[in-house]
Chain A
Amino acid sequence: MLLDIDFFTQDVLPALNQGLLVTLALIIPAGVIGFIGGIVLGCARAFGGPVLRGFGNAYTTTLRGVPLAVQLMMIYYALPKIGIYFDAYGAALLSFILCSAAYHSEYVRGALLSIRQGQIRAAQALGMTTFQTILWIVVPQAARRALPGCGNEIVYLIKYSSLAYLVTCMELMGEGKVVASDTFRFTEVFMAVGAYYLVLVTLATWLLHWLERRTYIPGFGAR
């Protein structure tokens, strides 16, 4: 018996579909808010004063330096000790947002620094404030430059969202693990889980390519 169809249709797929919904509920807000957070953080690190820059750098160093699994444990198990409580889903979502903002900020910072100084001077010569210059001239260009890198981060996010099961948030990985433990059919279950992630990542890649084409402007790299 190589492929047990009934096992998949009755045990694996219903559980994984359930988990898929939770995974989507994690990665979509974490992707969007994390990206916006990354832009803000990247701007602060590229253009902020010494204090803002120092804070941004320290934040990024910490969040990139500590394994995400550890951060997740801290948010779920350590924060309650100082009176801050999150449910499993909230803890996972928060840690993904914080972590992906740190990674995004690095791509964004690189993109911001690649904008020619001359355009910034031109904007200021027209009477724009520093904030207007950043908002209307620098960010729209930097976002396009950062898109491939940030897309990479989104792909990572989809896969590291599987860590949420560590704090009992029952997403794809968590559901898969339960079915596998109950049935001892690890190979089939985790191959199915892997296939789900592969599909998610493929869809995300298409979406990102579409976004790149959609925001394409002549002179901003090849189509």
Chain B
Amino acid sequence: MTEDVLQVSHISKQLGGKPILQDCSFTVKRGELKVLIGPSGAGKSTLLQCINCLIPPDSGDIWLEGTKLDRANKAHLCAFRAQVGMIFQDFNLFDHLTAEENVAIALRKVRGMSRKDAADRALEELGRVGLARRSQLYPAQLSGGQKQRVAMARALAMDPKVILLDEPTSALDPELVGEVLAVIRDLAQNGMTMIMATHQMDFARALAHEILFMERGKIIEQGAPDVLLAEGCNTRTRDFCCRLLEMGA
């Protein structure tokens, strides 16, 4: 539980002259689930995408298991990304591929597995998220929750060292949120290392090892959920969560 998997140090990013991220640093240990919360526009999504350089940060470094990411080296960057899973808010499945092919394509093209091995592995992963019977369907034939589970299987098949989840349930109907959270809960309990941006406070409180609260591009509070959310404590995190709850009520 103590080994550092991912280290993010002093990441900053400006877009159009406006600072989006300011000097964000944190470390994720193996098996840890970190939850990023904060108001819209706080930079949660940008921070996650900076970690695997989908949005290249202006400054700062990323370390994966003690190796510093060399962003200028394309081959190194691709190898790095292959070890860091990413789940998007709007799923981003490949529309022209079946569920099985969605999972298998990176195994074949990035990992160099044979067509058959990749298909076997894809089916196994789809089984793990409860979609073995839907493996031959195309994204347009799946519900939102099913799509997100295929996206989870796609990320998991690559045996990632850490998974980044960018509001994985925000684009889902309320009824479908549960099935996706169940998969994530399962992963967390099996020791998968994850960083997740979410508004699901109950989920964060129950499973997160640590909460990072972001506002205006900065991580302003950081700590275990029962500390930050403790009754009577005067944290920005608690304030925010109370307001979320009021809106829900």
A124 & B92 in contact (Cβ 8 Å cutoff): no
A129-B54 Cα distance, complex, nearest whole Å: 12
Which range holds the interface residue count of chain A? 20 to 34
Residue in contact with B81 in the complex, picked from A118, A126, A217, CB distance below 8 Å: A126
Give, as a whole number of angstroms, the nearest-CB distance from A137 to chain B: 6
Closest Cβ of chain B: how far from A127's Cβ, in Å? 3
Known: A127-B110, A129-B78. A219 touches B140 (CB 8 A): yes
| A220→B84 CA distance, assembly (Å) | 30
Give the residue name and chain of the B residue nearest to A133 (CB). Answer: B109
Do B110 and A125 have beta carbons less than 8 Å apart?
A: no
Inter-chain CA distance A46–B212, complex, in Å, is 39
Q: Are B138 and A126 in contact (CB under 8 A)?
A: no
B95 at the interface (CB under 8 A from A): yes
Q: Give the total number of A-B pairs whose CB atoms are below 8 A apart.
A: 80
Interface residue A140 (Cβ < 8 Å from any Cβ of B): yes
A window 112-164: CB within 8 A of B: 116, 118-119, 121-129, 132, 136-137, 140-141, 144
Least distance between B190 CB and chain A CB atoms (Å) = 21
- How many Å lie between the Cα of A121 and that of B82 in the bound state? 13
Residue in A116, A128, A217 whose CB lies within 8 Å of B109: A128
User: Contact partner of B158 among A127, A129, A132, CB < 8 A?
Assistant: A127
- A218 touches which one: B54, B74, B138, B158 (CB < 8 A)? B138
Q: Could you tell me if B78 and A128 are in contact, using CB atoms closer than 8 angstroms?
A: yes
CB distance from B191 to the nearest CB of A (A): 22
- Chain B interface residue number, banded: 20 to 34
B52, CB-defined interface residue at 8 Å = yes
Knowing A118-B92, A119-B94, A136-B105 are in contact, say whether A127-B141 is a contact too (CB < 8 A): no
A140 to B85, CA, bound (A): 24
Tell whether, in the assembled complex, residue A132 and residue B109 are in contact, meaning their CB atoms are under 8 Å apart. Answer: yes
B207 within 8 A of A: no
Known interface pairs A119-B92, A141-B95, A217-B138. Does A125 touch B86 (Cβ–Cβ under 8 Å)?
A: yes
A125 to B, closest residue via Cβ: B86
The answer to whether A121 and B79 have CB atoms under 8 Å apart is no
- Nearest residue, chain B, Cβ from A122: B92
B147: shortest Cβ distance to chain A, in Å?
Answer: 11
Cα distance A137–B88 when bound, in Å?
Answer: 17
- What is the CA–CA distance of A137 and B97 in the complex, to the nearest angstrom? 9
Within 8 A of B (CB), among A181-223: 217-220
In contact, B109 and A136 (Cβ under 8 angstroms): yes
Q: How far is the CA of A137 from the CA of B92 in the complex (A)?
A: 11
Q: How far is the CA of A221 from the CA of B219 in the complex (A)?
A: 44
B106 and A128: CB pair below 8 A?
A: yes
Q: By the criterion CB–CB under 8 Å, are A219 and B138 in contact? A: yes
- Does any Cβ of A come within 8 Å of B57's Cβ? no
Best-buried of B52, B74, B106, B137 by chain A (most CB within 10 Å): B106
Please report the C-alpha to C-alpha distance between residue A217 and residue B88 in the assembled complex, in whole angstroms: 23
Q: In whole angstroms, how far apart are the Cα atoms of A219 and B88 in the complex? A: 20
CB-based contact A123/B138 at 8 Å: no
Are B96 and A118 closer than 8 Å at their CB atoms? Answer: no
A125-B81, A127-B82, A218-B138 given as contacts; is B92 within 8 A of A116 (CB)?
A: yes
A126/B106 in contact, CB under 8 A: yes
Distance A121 CA – B81 CA, assembled complex (angstroms): 11
Residue of B nearest to A118 (CB): B92
Q: Which of A123, A136, A220 has a CB less than 8 Å from the CB of B95?
A: A220
Cβ of B168 under 8 Å from chain A: no
List chain B residues, Cβ under 8 A from A144.
Answer: 96
Residues of B within 8 A of A136 (CB): 105, 109
Residues A137 and B94 in contact, CB atoms below 8 Å apart: yes
Q: Among A122, A129, A140, which residue has its beta carbon within 8 angstroms of that of B88?
A: A122
Name which of B84, B86, B96 has the most chain A CB atoms within 10 A of its CB.
Answer: B96
Offer 9 A-B interface pairs, CB within 8 angstroms, sorted by A: A121-B49, A126-B155, A127-B82, A127-B158, A128-B78, A137-B94, A137-B105, A218-B140, A219-B95
